Structure 1
Amino acid sequence: MNAKRVLLYLFLLLVLGTGLSAWYFHHLVHSPQSPESSKEIVRISPGQSFKSIAYHLESMGLIDNATVMYYWGWLQGKATKVQAGHFQVDAQWSMQEMLEHLSTGREQLLRLQIPEGAAWWDVARILEKRELASFEEFQGVVKDKDFLEEMGIHASSAEGFLYPETYYISPSRDVGAEKLARIMINQFWKSTSDLWGEMSFDEIYDMVNKASLIEKETGIAPERRKISGVFHNRLESNMLLQCDPTIIYGLGEDFEGRLRRRHLDDRDNPYNTYHHRGFPPTPICSPGRASIEAALDPQEHGYYYFVSRNDGTHHFSKTLQEHNRAVYRYQIMVR
């Protein structure tokens, strides 16, 4: 009888211990890991083991016990279902919620904004700062002849075709100079496909080139078609475009100063539209759709000149004499 009682007590202790362990285990995996909300981005690499993922979460302070997380993941059959990518998790979540999110949740996409009027080197700097591609890699891609031909760009670079847009990309799949350039160029063709009709690439290129000048000259919506009209009038009259932003582009990616007389007089700069007729050799930035529409539909008027009023707007003139008076009023007098 004593032996039976001992065995019974041991059995009850075992059941109780198992029950308490199960309750404690259940409590650990279903309780909030932190009393306060704290959202973090967790990066999971392709092929990363679930064990290393659990310990990575513990090292970030997102879970209390990596061992419990590891065994719970296998018991739930989700250890092999955790996906690679960047995921936003909350320290207030339970281990069960984190496990569900990592195995079935949507990856946290990265917001990447490419502004209107950015030259290719501006885009390269943005990508390098976000650690998505190096400057040199992106430079190589946007000037790669085979890549450009594949993307339908029969030119020396992708300048003008890196469409300005807010992109939401997967940091695990969309990283790299070629992938990112491909995304932007594809977006250009997608966003502008309805504008070109039966135009040849050379005609499209001229319009993108013209639009890039408009983009750099004004950020005022009502002025775009007006400035487009000025360029149209000057080209029709065989006049030089005399566009300052083209000279600046020709001075290269490191130029951050003010234009000087020596820059305006430099005939060796192929982008100097004070000396070389027609459009510059390439676009000088990637224009937005509004500037492209303005390039395609210039406003009809008699203006041939414009000068900045120093408030973002421009004064337009029909004659050189009127223009010189405006330059004196808005530029020389201010200085």
Structure 2
Amino acid sequence: MTEYGRGQGSEPWHPQDPLYGDGGWEGQQAHVGRQSGYGGQPQQHYPQPHQPQYGAWSHEQQSGYDGQQYPYHEGQSQPAYDQQFVGQSQQHFHQGAWDGTGTHGPVPYAADPGDPHNQQPVAYGEQPDLYGTEDAYPPPVPPGRRRPEPEPQPEPGADEEEHAFFPGGGADGDAGEEEHELQSRRERRGKGRKPVKSRKGRTGCACMVVVLVFGGGLGGVGYFGYKFYQNRFGAAPDYAGSGNGQHVTVTINKGDGGWAIGQKLKDAGVVESAAAFVSALQANPKGKALQDGVYTMEKEMSAASAVELMLSPKSRSNLIIAEGRRNVEIYGLIDKRLEVPAGTTARVAKKEYKHLGLPSWALNHPNLKDPLEGFLYPSSYGVTKGQKPEAVLKNMVAQATAKYQELGLEKKAQTLGLDGPWQLLTVASLVQAEGTSHDDFRKMAEVVYNRLEPGNPQTAGRLEFDSTYNYVKNQSKLDLSITELRRYDNPYNTYFSKGLPPGPIDNPGEDALRGALNPTDDGWYYFISMDGKTSKFTRTLEEHNKLVEEWNASRKKN
């Protein structure tokens, strides 16, 4: 073993040494400033001739551990462990004795008889001993017990770092492999790392962006929150007063709700917002009575004023179709409302009836007086000047078709012994024409169904309704001669022809339709109206004739 593996002195390092294997170099070192030899013994001086070449080693004097030689020439670097040792002390010191003064002297060493390898260290120039000063470094650790130095952690904010054992470095020839390796690690660790100032600048910009985005988001949320609050809870925009005198016409369709009506009024310039109209409509006790139709309004009205005007009859310009009206009457009403020549709508109906929206089951029936009869459904319609007759008729037909589908005419006709919905609609028109009250309609429907039976014992399949004759004659007479009725040859005259007429004779309302769908089953065959308001029903002709006599007697008194 060479001098690098043991302490100062001439004794070899061997297992019998009392400090072999313990913490001698780490735990048994003398205190700073105390000059002692190995194990606390006084240092011995071995004279050695001075080497003429300072800092250089000969081939024979260089040896490694375990007898391995590491030859190198002058100017080459020493082995890594020697360089580390040199770096730790930052001084070139010589392996050997101390001079008792705390400095290395140029005293030549004599051969050490206890050195089995007879290796002589090279004497260095006279240098101060730093082990006794404040800047002293701990003595070197034997190679076998050396541990790799832990990588130092960079101080926060430091751009460059220095290893504690390599404060200044030295010449290129003095830099060791380990120092190069540590330096390489520092360079790899610091590669791509930007100065602290740049990171702070980048962080500041990022913070500013976050603040701007967050602030903008809060602003947007606040704005939309305000709009939501205004729409939900704030007062809706509204005009003041009862209008500016400029009139407009607004058509409200059946089924339109408050919001739809308010939107139409807003679009026409009547109210400022639909929300204001809805609020005023809900606040008015009569608001639920608002009906569809055509209304004449003024622009820039307050919502409350608009509601009041629409609830007033003077604002409505609707065309009201009553139950049981015949088409010929309705055509005349449409002409007047549209301000067109009389007969215009009737000619359009006759020419265009197949293109007005009739269902398939209402087409191609023979001997009809008017193919649209029964399809101008009784209701309120917005009809104003400027509209086309076709548009008005289409609206009425559409409403009738929807109602008939809703009531199920097509599905229930066969259960009542009828050929289809067309016959059921015809029955309803008869019920509507002959009934004098809503309570009569179910009984009247039973009379129709009973008389339609070909083998019935009372009428032999004839209906004998005065209303069918009046329809053909386009009249509404009550005093009709039986002789006249039986002689008039016409498919609609049920006194002359058996069964139902070719088609409806008026436009029945919902009550008459429901009566035809759900007749009574009490055996009624006859009926008579004694006062023109109510009807009396009987099962036999004898009972019926008695009522006829009473009615004739009452007429003579008057």
TM > 0.5 fold call:
yes
User: Once the two structures are aligned, what percentage of the paired residues are identical?
Assistant: 27
Q: Residue 329 and residue 149 in structure 1: after superposition, are their counterparts in 2 closer, same or farther (change >3 A)?
A: same
Return closer, same or farther for 1:126/1:145 CA change in 2, 3 Å cut-off: closer
Which deviates more from structure 2 when the two are superposed, residues 189-198 or residues 322-331? Answer: 189-198
8 Å contact kept, 1:225–1:299: yes
* Structure 1 residue 176 displacement after superposition: 2.1
Residue 320 (structure 2) pairs with residue 88 (structure 1): no
Residue 218 of structure 1: how far off its partner (Å): 1.6
Deviation at 1:42, TM superposition (A): 4.9
Alignment of structure 1 residues 164-179 onto 2, 5 Å = 164-169=378-383, 171-172=385-386, 175-179=387-391
CA gap of 1:315–1:41, structure 2 versus 1, over 3 A, is same
Query: Equivalent of 1:112, from 319, 342, 354?
Result: 319
Question: Deviation per CA, 1:33-70, whole angstroms, max 9, x where unpaired?
Answer: xxx989774579xxxxxxxxxxxxxxxxxxxxxxxxxx
1:43 and 1:192, CA in 2 relative to 1: closer, same or farther beyond 3 A?
closer
**CA shift at 1:205, angstroms?**
0.9
Kept in 2: contact 1:266–1:272 (CA 8 A): no
1:199-214 to structure 2, matched below 5 A, reads 203-214=420-431
Please say if 1:260 is aligned against 2:480: yes
SS at match of 2:333: helix
* CA–CA distance in structure 2, aligned partners of residues 144 and 223 of structure 1: 37
Contact 1:148/1:158 (<8 A) preserved: no
Q: Secondary structure at the match of 1:265?
A: helix
Select the residue among 163, 183, 192 that pairs with 2:395: 183
1:284 aligns with 2:505: yes
SS in 2 for 1:284: coil
Alignment counterpart, residue 348 of structure 2, candidates 138, 141, 144: 141
Mark the CA change 1:158 to 1:148 in structure 2 (over 3 Å): closer, same or farther. Answer: farther
Query: What is the CA deviation profile of residues 123-176 of structure 1, one whole-angstrom value per residue up to 9, with x for unaligned ones?
Result: 01211222355442221233236625852230441001110001234655xx22
Total equivalences in the alignment: 246
Distance 1:134 1:291, change over 3 A: farther
Higher helix share: 1
| Aligned with residue 271 of structure 1, among 486, 492, 495 | 492
**Could you tell me which of 433, 448, 470 is aligned with 1:248?**
470
Greater alpha carbon shift after TM alignment, 255-264 vs 133-142: 255-264
Superposed displacement of residue 310, structure 1: 1.4
Checking the alignment, whether the CA contact within 8 Å between 1:308 and 1:315 is kept in structure 2 is yes
Query: What secondary structure sits across from 1:209 in the alignment?
Result: helix
Give the 5 Å matches for 1:1-335.
41-42=247-248, 88-89=297-298, 110-131=317-338, 133-144=340-351, 147=354, 150-152=357-359, 153-154=362-363, 155=365, 156=368, 157-169=371-383, 171-172=385-386, 175-194=387-406, 195-198=408-411, 203-236=420-453, 237=456, 238-252=460-474, 255=475, 259-261=479-481, 263-335=484-556
The Cα shift of 1:303 comes to 1.3
Greater mean alpha carbon deviation, residues 144-153 or residues 297-306: 144-153
Q: Is the 8 A contact 2:332 2:343 kept in 1?
A: no
Deviations 1:195-249 (A, max 9, x none): 2354699611101111111111124111100110111111122421111111100
Q: Is the 8 A contact 2:376 2:507 kept in 1?
A: yes
- CA 1:298–1:132: 2 relative to 1, 3 Å: farther
Greater radius of gyration (CA): 2
Is the Cα contact below 8 Å between 1:196 and 1:204 reproduced in 2?
A: yes
Question: 2:472 is matched by which residue type in structure 1?
Answer: G
CA gap of 1:263–1:250, structure 2 versus 1, over 3 A, is: farther
Task: Quickly say closer, same or farther: Cα 1:139–1:322, change in 2 above 3 A.
Answer: same
Give yes or no for contact 1:209–1:282 (8 Å, CA) kept in 2: yes
Q: Which residue of 2 aligns with 1:79?
A: none
- AA matched with 1:89: E
**Relative to 1, partners in 2 of residues 1:182 and 1:132: Cα closer, same or farther, differing over 3 Å?**
farther
Question: Could you tell me how far apart the structure 1 residues matched to 2:485 and 2:394 are?
Answer: 36
Partners of 2:377 and 2:349 in 1: how far apart? Answer: 13
In 1, Cα distance between equivalents of 2:530 and 2:452? 24
In structure 1, C-alpha distance between the alignment counterparts of 2:497 and 2:545, rounded to whole Å: 22
Q: Is the 8 A contact 2:428 2:508 kept in 1?
A: yes
Structure 2 Cα separation of the partners of residues 148 and 322 of structure 1: 49
Structure 1 spans left out of the alignment, 5+ residues: 1-29, 45-84, 102-107
Query: Secondary structure, in 3 states, of the residue corresponding to 1:229?
Result: helix
Contact 2:243 2:298 in 1 (8 A): no
8 Å Cα contact 2:489-2:496 kept in structure 1 = no
Secondary structure of the residue aligned to 2:552 is helix
Q: Could you tell me whether the CA contact under 8 Å between 2:463 and 2:495 is conserved in 1?
A: yes
Considering only aligned residues, what root-mean-square deviation do their CA atoms show, in Å?
A: 3.4
